Structure 1
């Protein structure tokens, strides 16, 4: 998160991971979430949009629903730790915006992600 945070900048939360097919966070996700929490705490005017993504396995509709639940989980974590819910919007995109090929499991994992986009400073 060392890039300049201008409106429209999208940054990945690469270490935020979930149980397969679930919106339950893996414990390894918490350090990355704490960094985002710190950023939001230190920059009280910052507003963000959480963007959830999945691979293309399964139905497109279920993948959108799963990505929406994952976004809701991350938002709930931030709100539970003191960030106003009004500062965070969210969007589940399912498999619509892959960043890697879905041909192999190793690259499909790269598509299962949550990012945040700066919507206000």
Structure 2
């Protein structure tokens, strides 16, 4: 919340959990929260037998857009996922205002930082 002190600050949120996205929208309000619309799919775990081609198409568009927008964030709070880790590497200054959530929030300041695997 301390990074949202400016009245024009926005939050881009993406998650594979609808519940988390709804919580962020409720907490900060729709006027501050940005997100891409589309079905939530996992690029490594989709099922062509149960998901239509249209759902997969729109889901992959959402994945690409989310990946791009995450890399454009000035402050980046990410979870323990390879997707968010790789998206964060697109940032101009990868370690500037970079945080990882793993039961609590940790600031990442350099490449040698390792997330506490035993805690997550």
Regarding TM over 0.5, the answer is no
- Relative contact order (alpha carbons < 8 A, sep ≥ 6): 1 or 2 greater? 1
Higher strand share: 1
Larger Rg, first or second structure (1 or 2):
2
Scaled by the length of structure 2, the TM-score of the pair is 0.31
